[in-house]
Structure 1
Amino acid sequence: MTTRNWTDARPATAAEWIERAKDVAAVLATDALARDRANSTPYEEVALLKDAGLVTLLGPREHGGAGESWETAYRVVREVARGDGSIGQLLGYHYLWAWAARLVGTTEQIAAVEELYTGNNLFFGGAVNPRDDDLVIADEGDWLVFRGRKSFSTGGKVSDLTVLEGVLEDSGGHVFAIVPSDQQGITFGDDWDNLGQRLTESGSVLVEDVRVPWASAAGYVDKEFRPLTYNTLNVPTIQLVFANFYLGIAQAALQAGLAYTAERTRPWPYGGDNKDSATEEFYVLDAFGDLQAKLWAAEALIDKAGAVLSGLLHAERESLTERQRGEAAVLIAAAKQRIIDTGLEVSSRIFEVTGARATANSVGLDIYWRNLRTHSLHDPVAYKRVEVGRYALLGELPEPTWYT
C-alpha cells in the first residue's frame, strides 16, 4: 500500500470529510486484494486513517478533533469500506469505542477519555464479546483487576487503547474500562485467519491481572453505577456501523462488476440475438439494473436510520426515552437485514454477468462476498427480521440486549 501525506487543508465540512474518506478508500483499493491474501497486521492502514484525520472525526474540536456527527461518521465508514472492507470495519468499531465514554461514563470520564484519544490521535479496539464467558473483575480497594479470555477482540495489535468489559465477582455488576493495549497483562492471540474481513485483527485476547483504578470504571460513582436509557444505545450504534460497512462492500462489488463487464466481458455468441458488446446484452442490463435498484433502496434505508440515530446520540443523554431507543433499533434492524440480503446477492450475482473468466484469482471478485458473508454471521439476521415483524404485527419494541 502506498501511503499518502495529507498536506492539503483540513476538511471543514461533513461533505469534505466524506471526500477525504473517498481519497483514503482510493489508496486502500489499489492493493486491497494483495493485502487480504497476505493477511498481515494492518499497521500501515491504521496509520493512513490517522494521517487522514479520520480517527478523530468524532473528537471534540477543542482537542483537535473534527467535532463531526455520527451521521457523517457512518458515511465515512461506508466510503472507507468501499476501498477495503476490513479497514472500514476497524474504523467503525473505533468510532463506537471512542464514543463508549459518552454512552456509559460520567461527565468527568467523558472529558478525560476524549482529551486523551483526540489529543493523541489514538486508535481503539475492544475486547467485548458477549458470547464468551465474561472477564472476571476483582475489587481490590481502589483498584479493579480484570482476568479472563475473549475469543474475539477487533482491533487487536493495531489499537492504542482497548475497551474491556467484565463482571464484578462479588456483586455481578458489569464494568467497562478503557486501558492501554500495549501492556504486559494483555496478550493478543494472532489467531484471526478467517474467510473474509481478514485484516480486522479480530482474534482472541488473554487478559491477565490488568489493573484499573475504580475512578476509570465507566459510569460508576462511589462504586455504584448510575444507569441511563442512553447507555443502551451501544448496540444500535454498532449494528448500524455493520450496515454501513456492508453497504460500502456491496457498492464496491457492484462497481467492480460493472467495470469488469464494460472492459472485459465478451458477448454470448449463441443467443440468437447476438450483440457486439456485453454491455448491450439484455440479461446483463437486466441484472445490473436489478442490483443497482436494490442497492439504492438499501442505501436510502440506511441513511434514514443514520439520521435518526445520530439525532439521538447527539441529544442530551438524559432526554432519551425507551420508545425513541426502541423505534431506532427497529429501523436499524430493518436496514441491516436489507443490506445483508442485498449485499450477498450483489456480490454473488456479479459473476453471472461478468462471466467465467471473472472467477480467476487474479481478478479477485470473490473478496466482496467473502467479506460480507464472514461478518454478516456476527448475529443471526433472522432475529432482526423477527424484531421488525413483532413491531409491525404487535407494536412491540425490542428489549435492549447485547445484540439488540
Structure 2
Amino acid sequence: MSIDISEDTAADTRELQVQRTPDLITDDAHALRVAKRLAEEFAPEAAARDRERRLPWAELDVFVASGLWGMTVPREFGGAGVSSATLAEVTATIAAADGSLGQIPQNHFYALEVLCVGASAEQQRFFFDRVLAGERFGNALAETGHKDFKRRTRLTRTTAGWHIDGRKFYCTGALYAHWIPTLVITEELGRDITCLAFVPRNAQGVEVIDDWDGFGQRITGSGSVQFNHVRVEPEWVVPFQASFERPTTIGPVAQIMHAAIDLGQARGAFQAALQFVREHSRPWIDAKVDRATDDPLTIAQFGDLAVRLRAAEALLRRAARFVDAAQAGPSDRSVAEASVAVAEARALTTTISLDAGSRLFELTGTSATLDGLGLDRFWRNARTHTLHDPVRWKYHAVGNYYLNDKLPPRHGAL
C-alpha cells in the first residue's frame, strides 16, 4: 500500500512523496561505507542548516535513498538485518556530521524494533515493505502540560471505526514522516492498555505543527502533532504495553541510538576543535611556542578528550554486543544486562559530548565564538539531546544492578 497524496494536499505534503526506490543495503560493512560517504556529503552545510533553521528535505531524500533507513529490517523480510553495533556506528557517523540528521531517524528505527518485537507477521510484512520502498516513520509518543507521565491521547474503537484524539509534542521526525507511530491509550476488556498506532501523515485530522524552537537540534522537526478524530485501520495498531510486560529489547535499542547520537556530537566537536587549533588558534603567551599545536597544556587537553572519547566508543561497542545477545535470546537477565551495558555507555557519551562541545572553545580561543562559524552548535545540540532522560538515573540503574542485583525497569528510557 502506498500513501495517496491528493491534488488538494500536494502543496503541504509534496516533500513526502518517495523520490525513488532506495538502494538495498547488503550487509554491515556496506552500511558503514554508505554512512561515511553520506557524512562527508552532509557535513559542509551543517552549520548553515542549523543557523538558518533550513529543514533538510533534500538531505533526507538522499539519506533514505541510500538504503540506510531500511538496514535493520530483518533478512527474512528483505532487509540487511544489521547488528546493533552497526546501527550505533551509522547513527554516530551521521550525527558527527550533523546532529539533527543523526537524530531524525532515531524513532524510525525505534518503530522498526517495536514491529520486530510485537507486531503480527502480516503487520511486519506490510510495514517492512513500506520502509524498503522508501517510506519513513516519525513519532508521536510524548505529551506535555501535565506533571505526571500519564498519556491522554486515546484510541476509541467503535463499530463505526477506530479513531484517535489527542495532542503530542517532542515529535522528532513527524514533520518528515510518511507514517507517525503514535502512542495511544485504548480500552480492552474493561481496562486501559497502551498501543502504538501507525498513522498516515496525510490522514484527515492530522495536523503536524513545526513549533520546535529549542536552542539545539533545531531541524529535527521535534514539534507538535494534533489528532482530531483521526481514523486508523485495526491492522495499523500494534501492541505496545505487552512488549514491556515481558523481556524485550525495545528499551536497549532506543537507548543505544541515543548514546550513538551523543557520541557523534562528541566526535564532531573534537574534530572541529582539532581543525581550528591547527589552522587558526594562537598559543598562549606563557607557553613560549610559535604554534598553538605546540602548546603543552593544549596538547594535554586534547589527549584527555581523546582518551575519554575512545572510552565512550568502547563502551558503546560493548553495549551493542549485549543488545545483540538479548535480541538473539531475550530473557529477564539478558535484557537487563543489555540495559545496564547501554546505561554505562550513555553515562559516558553524555559527559563526553557536553565536555567536547564546551572545551572546543577553551582550546580554540575567542575567535571561535564568531556566530558565522556555528561552532556553538555542537554544545547546543549535545545539551539539548542529552536532556532526553537524566544521566543521573543511568548511574543509579548501574549501581543498583551491581550492588543489589536489582534488574532495571523495562521501559523506553533505559
TM-score normalised by L of structure 2: 0.88
Moved more, 356-365 or 27-36: 356-365
Q: Paired residue for 2:263? A: 247
Matches of 1:106 and 1:11 in 2, distance apart?
Answer: 24
Q: Secondary structure at the match of 1:192?
A: coil
Q: Paired residue for 1:107? A: 121
Computed over aligned residues only, the root mean square deviation of the Cα atoms, in angstroms, reads: 2.3
Matches of 1:201 and 1:227 in 2, distance apart?
Answer: 28
Q: Deviations over 1:126-160 (max 9, x none)?
A: 10116463311111138421110012211122111
Q: Paired residue for 1:305? A: 319
Q: Secondary structure at the match of 2:413?
A: coil
Matches of 1:97 and 1:180 in 2, distance apart?
Answer: 14
Q: Deviations over 1:351-392 (max 9, x none)?
A: 111111111112221110000000111111111111111112
Question: What aligned pairs does 1:250-261 form with structure 2 within 5 A after superposition?
Answer: 250-261=266-277
Matches of 1:94 and 1:56 in 2, distance apart?
Answer: 10
Q: Secondary structure at the match of 1:72?
A: helix
Deviation at 1:295, TM superposition (A): 0.5
What is the one-letter code of the residue matched to 2:357? S
Matches of 1:390 and 1:227 in 2, distance apart?
Answer: 20
1:187 to 207, 230, 237: 207
Deviation at 1:62, TM superposition (A): 6.7
Equivalent pair of 2:87/2:257 in contact (CA under 8 Å): no
Equivalent pair of 2:92/2:260 in contact (CA under 8 Å): yes
Q: Paired residue for 1:210? A: 230
Identity %: 33
Equivalent pair of 1:192/1:198 in contact (CA under 8 Å): yes
1:146 to 151, 164, 189: 164
Q: Paired residue for 2:134? A: 121
Q: Secondary structure at the match of 1:31?
A: helix
Does residue 360 in structure 1 map to residue 374 in structure 2? no
Equivalent pair of 1:219/1:227 in contact (CA under 8 Å): no
1:78 to 92, 99, 110: 92
Equivalent pair of 2:85/2:321 in contact (CA under 8 Å): yes
Q: Paired residue for 1:49? A: 63
2:401 to 388, 391, 398: 391
Stretches of structure 2 that go unaligned for 5 or more consecutive residues are 1-18, 144-148
Q: Paired residue for 1:229? A: 246
Equivalent pair of 1:147/1:208 in contact (CA under 8 Å): yes
Q: Paired residue for 1:293? A: 307
Equivalent pair of 1:188/1:204 in contact (CA under 8 Å): yes
Deviation at 1:402, TM superposition (A): 4.3
What is the one-letter code of the residue matched to 1:134? R
Deviation at 1:188, TM superposition (A): 1.0
Matches of 1:53 and 1:394 in 2, distance apart?
Answer: 44
TM-score normalised by L of structure 1: 0.90
What is the one-letter code of the residue matched to 1:229? R
Q: Secondary structure at the match of 2:104?
A: helix
Equivalent pair of 2:269/2:378 in contact (CA under 8 Å): yes
Equivalent pair of 2:350/2:386 in contact (CA under 8 Å): yes
What is the one-letter code of the residue matched to 2:260? N
Q: Deviations over 1:151-183 (max 9, x none)?
A: 221112211111011111452011112121122
What is the one-letter code of the residue matched to 1:326? A
Does residue 371 in structure 1 map to residue 387 in structure 2? no
Q: Paired residue for 1:137? A: 155
Deviation at 1:13, TM superposition (A): 3.6
Q: Deviations over 1:233-263 (max 9, x none)?
A: 2222111110001101100100000010011
What is the one-letter code of the residue matched to 2:396? V
